Amino acid sequence: MKKFVSVLMAVLMAMLLVPMFSSCASGETLNILNWGDYLEPSLKERFKEETGITIKEKVVTSNEEMLIQLEADDCPYDLCFPSDYAVERLIKGGKLAEINHDNLSNLVNIDDRYMGLDYDPENKYSIPYTYGVLGVLYNKTMVDEADLGSWDILWNEKYSGEIFMYDSIRDSMAVALLYLGYDINTTNPDELNAAADALIAMKPLVKAWLTDDIKDSMILGSGALAVVYSGDAVWCCDPDEGNPDLDFFVPESGSNIYFDTMVIPVNTKKQDMAEQFINFLLEPEVATINTEFIGYSSPNAAVWPLLDEYYTENHMFNIPDAIIEKCVVFRDLGESIDLYNNAWDRVFE
C-alpha cells in the first residue's frame, strides 16, 4: 500500500509538471500566442479538417507580455504574432527560428512594400501578418470637428473625463512624444522626461487607461476620445456591430505605423507544422476571411480584390499613402527601454 501511494504521488507530481499544452507530444497540436480577436475562429477548424492539426491559442494584450513568454527558456509556443520592435529584440536575443521560405508557397502574395523592413531585413525570422497606424477614435456627437487633426486634442480640457488612453508604455509614450514634436524612438532622457510630464498633465482628463476594453467602451458611447490602433477603429466603426457615431483620424504631424508578424520560437519541435499554418494563413481566400474579421490592414496583396467594399473604401483600413509617409516604425531600444520604464513609472507613482 505504501509503495502504491508513493507511485500515485509520483504520477500526480508528474502531472503537475506537464506544460500548459500537454498534447504537444502527440504532434497534432500547434500552440500559438496571439492578440485578442486576431484569428477568425472558423479558420482553426478549417485548418484541422485539412491537416488534422489542432490549433490551441492563448491571448495576450501587449508586446511586453508576449516578450516575457517568448524569451523564457521553456517557451511552450510554436507560433506567435509579435510586433516589429519585439521581433527585432527577439532576433537579437536568438529566440526565433529561421523560417524556411521554401515551405511557404503563398509568400509570393505579400506585397513587396512590406517585405525587407528594418526590423527583419531579409524576413529570415518573420512574415508580415497585418499593419496599421496609431490614432484617435472619437465620437462625432461629443467632439467638435474644429478640434480634430492634432494630438493636442488629448490635452483639451473640454473633454475632461471623456478620454480613454491606451495602457501601453510604447504607445502612450509615443503619443506624448509626438505631441511634443519628438521622435517616438528617442533615447534622450530630457525628451522622455518631458513626455512623462505631458502624460502626468493629461492624467486628470483621462477616464481610464485600457487595452482591448477600449473598443467596447467606445462602442457603448462611454467616452468621447480614445487612442486606438486603426484596426480596432475599423471594428468600432462597423455599421452592423459597431457605433455609427464613431470615426478615426491620424494626427497630421504623424504617428506610429506598426507591423504584426508571424514568428516561430527557436525551441519549438513543430517548425514544419508552424510553417504549414503560416502558409495556410497566406492563402488568398483564407487571408480575406481573416482580414475581414480582424479589421487590420493586410500586407497580402492577393486579398485586396476579394475584400468587401467596406474595407477597400475605408480610410481606417485602406490607409492613404500621405499618412503612411508621416509614420514611423517602433525600433527595439535595447537597454534604453529602462529610460521608458522609468518615465512611465513617474506617470503612475
Average pLDDT of span 153-173: 97
Structural domain boundaries enclosing 72: 25-129+259-310
How much is the pLDDT for 27?
52
For residues 213 and 277, membership in a common domain is answered with: no
Distance CA 329, CA 21 (A): 34
How much is the pLDDT for 161?
98
The confidence band for 1, taking pLDDT boundaries of 50, 70 and 90, is: very low
For residues 63 and 189, membership in a common domain is answered with: no
For residues 232 and 295, membership in a common domain is answered with: no
Asked if the structure places residue 175 within a domain, the reply is yes
The yes-or-no verdict on residue 9 having pLDDT over 90 is no
For the stretch 293-336, pLDDT in tens is 999 999 999 999 999 999 999 999 999 999 999 999 999 999 99
The confidence band for 13, taking pLDDT boundaries of 50, 70 and 90, is: very low
242 burial type by CB count under 10 A (0-12 exposed, 13-18 middle, 19+ buried): middle
Asked if the structure places residue 140 within a domain, the reply is yes
Asked if the structure places residue 101 within a domain, the reply is yes
Neighbours of 341 (CB within 10 A): 13
How much is the pLDDT for 294?
95
Greater model confidence, 212 or 314: 314
How much is the pLDDT for 67?
96
Specify the pairing of strand 127-139 against strand 225-229: antiparallel
Average pLDDT of span 274-281: 98
| Residue 152's CATH number | 3.40.190.10
For residues 138 and 247, membership in a common domain is answered with: yes
The yes-or-no verdict on residue 24 having pLDDT over 90 is no
For residues 157 and 108, membership in a common domain is answered with: no
What stretches of 170-272 adopt beta strand conformation (E)?
206-210, 225-229, 246-249, 255-262
The confidence band for 268, taking pLDDT boundaries of 50, 70 and 90, is: very high
For residues 200 and 332, membership in a common domain is answered with: yes
For the stretch 72-96, pLDDT in tens is 999 999 999 999 999 999 999 999 9
For residues 214 and 333, membership in a common domain is answered with: yes
For the stretch 36-77, pLDDT in tens is 999 999 999 999 999 999 999 999 999 999 999 999 999 999
For residues 84 and 165, membership in a common domain is answered with: no
For the stretch 213-249, pLDDT in tens is 999 999 999 999 999 999 999 999 998 999 999 999 9
How much is the pLDDT for 15?
38
Asked if the structure places residue 114 within a domain, the reply is yes
- When computed from its CA atoms, the radius of gyration of the chain, rounded to whole angstroms, is 22
Average pLDDT of span 107-133: 97
* pTM: predicted TM-score of the whole model, two decimal places: 0.87
Asked if the structure places residue 122 within a domain, the reply is yes
- What value does the mean pLDDT of the chain take? 92
Q: Residue 164: name the closest of 239, 214, 111 by CA.
A: 214
Residues with Cβ within 8 Å of residue 249, at least 6 apart in sequence: 135, 136, 138, 148, 149
Would you give the DSSP letter of residue 262? E
Q: Residue 42: name the closest of 306, 317, 288 by CA.
A: 288
For the stretch 117-126, pLDDT in tens is 999 999 999 9
The yes-or-no verdict on residue 8 having pLDDT over 80 is no
How much is the pLDDT for 131?
98
For residues 160 and 92, membership in a common domain is answered with: no
The yes-or-no verdict on residue 7 having pLDDT over 60 is no
How much is the pLDDT for 201?
98
Asked if the structure places residue 273 within a domain, the reply is yes
Specify the pairing of strand 54-60 against strand 29-35: parallel
Query: Which of helix, strand or coil describes residue 211?
Result: coil
Asked if the structure places residue 6 within a domain, the reply is no
How much is the pLDDT for 191?
98
Check if the beta carbon of residue 250 is closer than 8 Å to that of residue 228: no
For residues 289 and 180, membership in a common domain is answered with: no
Strand partners for 297: 131
For residues 148 and 244, membership in a common domain is answered with: yes
For residues 89 and 118, membership in a common domain is answered with: yes
The confidence band for 16, taking pLDDT boundaries of 50, 70 and 90, is: very low
Q: Domains in the chain: how many in total?
A: 2
